[in-house]
Amino acid sequence: MLTRRNFLKTVAATTAVSTFTQPLNFVQAANPKLIKPPRLKPGSVVGIVSPAGATFVREELDIVQDAVRALGLVPQLAPHVLDKYGYLAGKDADRAADINQLFSDAKVAAILPIRGGWGCSRILPYLDYKVIQQNPKIIIGFSDITALLVAINAKTQLVTFHGPNGLTSWRSQQTESFRRVLFAGEKLTFKNQQDASDSDRLMQVKYRIRTINPGKVRGRLIGGNLSVFSTLVGSPYLPNLKGTILFLEEIGENIYRIDRFLTHLKLAGVLKQISGFIFGQCPGCNPGSDYGSLTLEQVLSDHIKPLNIPAWHGAAIGHMENILTLPIGSQVEINATSGTITMLESAVSFK
């Protein structure tokens, strides 16, 4: 069965109403000033890190460095990038030290993880958020990296980016999104593109939009992997979610587990905070052998439709071949009928 961990291995190989009277404490003050990292330029230095799962094959690190160089950037390896501690890429304090060091290094413009897996949540208490806030730079990734991106945004108000890990495909569509958002600083509109398998069909079959509630709304974009995001609830690492647009994706989970995660967000008061909702792709999410299982569509309808906020599912976001570069913490407008996310501001600065 697909999981977040074996998905990343596969990509590398082939390209590789709440009963609570008060919600849990969302620690950040409402709408503090957003910090944007400087944009990338040709020759910018990219720090390559392993904040989660270990890299056991040196060639995978070489592949990531080749991708960075092909982008016109210069790779710089973090000191503990090839460390191993069981399934983790070294001890928690060492993995966090790499993040802190790269943020404090004036030469480094961006931080790129090799992979996700598991482990980012373990290093959150060891990060120096004052250093990160005073030295804003691009940090990007997806899957388990969700914990790192969301926590840094919560603690520092730095815009972070849900986008490629080092060992994703870096095919043309993925690279174009990365360049336009992080190099050019464009304000893009994201919409599902026709899959190649549908090119000679009369109708679209793959990546269809399913509207839960129609409408448009504006707000800060927050989200990432569902299971990782839900574990941050009740911690000091979740942003103020009031009025935000929440996007979620998952892979390789039975439907009852998706239901469990969303129920957790509901009971914790998270869902009643948000103004819009997007659910992306969920490959390998099926009932399994569970007799009489709900469908994913039913679960999403049960939890999201009563909120009466613009919402849809089927967005081309998640564990898939082309990973879009989405700004976490930045202002966007969504249209739940057309299934579009429109950036209302550049996510990077032009210093």
Element (H, E) at 330: none
Structure-token pair, residue 112 = 């790129």
| 264 tagged catalytic | no
- For residues 248 and 174, give the distance between their C-alpha atoms in angstroms, rounded to a whole number: 19
Closest CA to 140 of 157, 121, 158, 161: 161
Other C-beta atoms closer than 10 Å to the C-beta of 350 total: 8
The residue written with tokens 């992080």 in the block is 182
| 143 tagged catalytic | yes
**Nearest-5° angle of CA 84, CA 11, CA 119?**
35
Instruction: Kindly list the distances between the CA atom of residue 187 and the CA atoms of 28, 139, 306, in Å, as whole numbers in the listed order.
Output: 26, 18, 31
**Nearest-5° angle of CA 35, CA 329, CA 172?**
100
| 319 tagged catalytic | yes
Residue 90 Rama label (left phi>0; alpha psi -120 to 50; beta): left
- For residues 260 and 247, give the distance between their C-alpha atoms in angstroms, rounded to a whole number: 17
Catalytic residue among 80, 230, 249, 333: 249
- For residues 27 and 332, give the distance between their C-alpha atoms in angstroms, rounded to a whole number: 22
- For residues 4 and 9, give the distance between their C-alpha atoms in angstroms, rounded to a whole number: 9
Contact (CB, 8 A) for 124 and 207: no
Catalytic residue among 143, 169, 330, 346: 143
DSSP secondary structure of 279-313: E---TT-S-TT-TTPPPHHHHHHHHHGGG-S-EEE
Catalytic residue among 44, 303, 319, 346: 319
- For residues 188 and 181, give the distance between their C-alpha atoms in angstroms, rounded to a whole number: 7
Closest CA to 277 of 242, 298, 304: 304
- For residues 33 and 107, give the distance between their C-alpha atoms in angstroms, rounded to a whole number: 25
Position 6, amino acid: N
Enumerate the active-site residues: 143, 249, 319
